[in-house]
Structure 1
Amino acid sequence: MIWYLAELLGFIKIDRSVKLEEYVNHPSYAGNFIRFGMDGIVGEYISTVCQTFLFALALYFTLSCSSYYYFFKKNKQLYLPKLNAKFYIYYDIKWSLINMFFETFLVSIIRVAQPRFSLMYYNISDYGYWYIPISIILHIMYDETLTYWVHRWLHTYPYLYIKLHRIHHFSKDITPFSGFAFHPLDAFAQAVPMFTSCFIFPIHMNLFLFFGLCTTSWAISIHDNVPALPFKFLLYSTHHTIHHEPGPGGMKNIGKFTSVWDRIMGTYEEPDRINFGWNQQQTQLDKLKKANDLYESILPSDVKKIKKNK
C-alpha cells in the first residue's frame, strides 16, 4: 500500500484506466467467464467468486484424487507399504469444501482490488524480461516470510490453534485430500501473502497466476508422504509428515515452500527418519547428497544452536 499512497501523493503515476482495460482483456478476467447479467463492480465480484470457487474445486479434486489413486491405491506397495493408518478422508473433503466456498468470498475481494490499487501489470514490456527473475525472488521472499510467521502464530497461540488451525491438524495421518482441509479464515490468513505481493512491488499477472497454481499443487503434494524430490532447500512431503505428528511435531517444519525460515528460527527437523517402505528413498537422497551438503554448509539446519555454541 506504500506504492498506492505514493500514487495518491503524486510521486508515481499509474494510469488506472489503462490497467483496468488490460485487466478486462486478460484471459483470466472473470467477466469473460460468467456474468449473471450484473454490471459494475458487484457483477465483477460475483463473477470472480464463481470463477475462483469452480477453478479451486476442479483443481483440488483433480490433483488430490490423482495423487491419492497413484500413491495410496495403485502403487501403495511400491511407495507406502508400511503406511497403515486411519485416514479421515471424508472429514478432509468436507472441510476442503467449506474452506473453498467461504475463502473464495475473501480472496475475490483482493482479486477485484488488484487492478485498481496494486502494481500488477499485464505487458512484459512495462518492465522488461530482466525484471521477471527479480519479481520471482521478491515474491518468494515476501510469501515465505509472511506465511511462515502466520503459520507459526497459529501454532503458538492456543486460541488461534484451537479455533482455527486444529481443523487442519485433526488428520495426524495425512493424504492428498488433507491439502485444503482448513478453517476458511486459517486458509485465507496463509493465502494473503500470495495475493498481496503485487501491492508491494510490480508482478506480472501471468506470474501471479503461476504462483497460485504452484501453491495449490504444493499443498496437495506435501500431504502424500512420498519424498520424490528430497532437496532440503524445499520443505517436501516427509517434512510435512513430521509437522502433522502429535505433540512437538506441529512446531517443526512450519514454512511454505522452503526450509530457510525454519533453519533460521530453529524449527527445522530433518525428514530422513520418515520412510514408509519406499526402497528408492535412500537412492533419491544419495543423488542429491552433494546439493544437500552444500546447502547445509551455507545454511545449517539449526542456526540457533550454532550461535549458542560459539
Structure 2
Amino acid sequence: MKHPKFIKNQVKQEIQLGCVSIFWMSFPTVAIFYWEIKGHSKLYDNIYKNYQGLSGVLVSIAGFLFFTDMCIYWIHRSMHHKNIYKHLHKQHHLFKIPTPFASHAFHPLDGFLQSLPYHIYPFIFPLHKVVYLSLFVFVNIWTISIHDGNYRIPGPLIHLINGAAHHVDHHLYFNYNYGQYFTLWDRLGGSYCYPTALLGKGPHEDVRK
C-alpha cells in the first residue's frame, strides 16, 4: 500500500468492482451449469464405470489445466488489443499493484470470457463432476493467489509456474506474462518476462528505495 502506484481507496474499489462483476457473471455461469447438469456435457458420476477409471481422472485433470491455460492465454492477450482493451480489460489494469481483491475485479464480460474455457472443457472432454467443481474452486483460489503480492516461488519452478511475481509484472508493464498457471504459452508467444521482483527490482524494492 506504500507503493506510489497503489491508488487511493484501491481495496474498496477492487471490492466494489469485484462484487458487481461476480453478480453479473453469475447469470451466464449458472445457465451453463444448468445446461451441464441436464446432460448436455460429458460430465459423469461414476469413476470406475466410465473413462478408464482413476487414471482417466488424472489425465482429465492434466488436460483441463493444459486446455484452459492455453485458451486463457489467447483470450487474455486478445483483451489487450487496442480496440478491445479500453472497453473491457482496462478496468482490471487500473490496479497496477494488485491485492487479492483485484483477482475478480473485472468488467463482467471480460471476466466471463476468461472463464469460458473452464466451462467449454467438459463439453469437449469427459470430466468427473466432483473433479470439475473442485477444479473450478481451485481456479478461483489460483486467481486470488497470483494477485496476492507473495512473490515466493521454489527456485526450480520459477521458469515453469506463473505466480504472483510474474503476474504483478503483467499489471505493471502490460505486455508480459498473460498466462494463468504456467509460463509455456508466454514463452511460445514471445511474451514471457522473468519476474522483476525476483531480480530485486520489483514493487517491494521500489518502496525500500
The one-letter code sitting in structure 1 at the alignment partner of 2:28 is L
Query: Considering only aligned residues, what root-mean-square deviation do their CA atoms show, in Å?
Result: 1.6
* SS of structure 2 residue aligned to 1:106: helix
21, 24, 35: which one aligns with 1:99: 21
Kindly tell me the number of residue pairs found equivalent between the two proteins.
193
Among candidates 190, 204, 208, match of residue 276 of structure 1: 204
Tell me how far 1:83 sits from its aligned partner.
Answer: 4.7
Instruction: Please tell me whether residue 86 in structure 1 is matched to residue 11 in structure 2.
Output: no
Instruction: For 2:204, give the aligned amino acid.
Output: F
Task: Give aligned-pair identity as a percent.
Answer: 32
CA distance in 2, matches of 1:83, 1:150: 30
Aligned counterpart, 2:46: 123
Determine whether 1:236 maps to 2:163: yes
Query: Which residue does the alignment assign to 1:65?
Result: none
TM-score by length of 2: 0.87
TM-superposition CA deviations, 1:96-134 (whole Å, max 9, x none): 001000000011111011132110011111221110111
Cα distance between partner residues in 2 of 1:85 and 1:251: 18
Q: RCO greater where, 1 or 2, for CA within 8 Å and sep 6 or more?
A: 2
Pair 1:187-2:111 in alignment: yes
Give a deviation string over 1:228-284, Cα, whole Å, max 9, x none. Answer: 324221110010110001xxx21100011111100111100001233626xxxxxxx
2:83 and 2:105 map into 1 onto residues whose CA distance is: 19
Give the equivalent residue in structure 2 for 1:35: none
TM-score (norm 1): 0.60
Kindly provide the amino acid, as one letter, of the partner of residue 21 in structure 2: N
The structure with the larger Rg is 1
1:134 and 2:62 correspond: no
After TM superposition, where is structure 1 displaced by more than 4 Å over at least 4 residues in a row?
82-85
User: Does the C-alpha gap of structure 1 residues 275 and 92 become closer, same or farther in structure 2, counting only changes over 3 Å?
Assistant: closer
Structure 1 gaps of 5+ residues are 1-71, 73-81, 278-310
Per-residue deviation, residues 5-59 of structure 1 (Å, max 9, x unmatched): xxxxxxxxxxxxxxxxxxxxxxxxxxxxxxxxxxxxxxxxxxxxxxxxxxxxxxx
Report the CA distance between 1:86 and its aligned residue: 2.4
Which amino acid counterpart does residue 238 of structure 1 have in structure 2?
Answer: A
3-state SS in 1 of match to 2:174: helix
Q: Residues 241-260 of structure 1 correspond to what in structure 2 (within 5 A)?
A: 241-245=168-172, 249-260=173-184
Q: Single out whichever of 265-274 and 101-110 deviates more from structure 2.
A: 265-274
Q: 1:153 deviation in Å?
A: 0.3
- The answer on 1:168 being equivalent to 2:95 is no
Contact kept, 8 Å, 2:89 with 2:107, in 1: the verdict is yes
Opposite residue 43 of structure 2, the aligned amino acid is M
What SS does structure 2 have at the residue aligned with 1:98?
A: helix
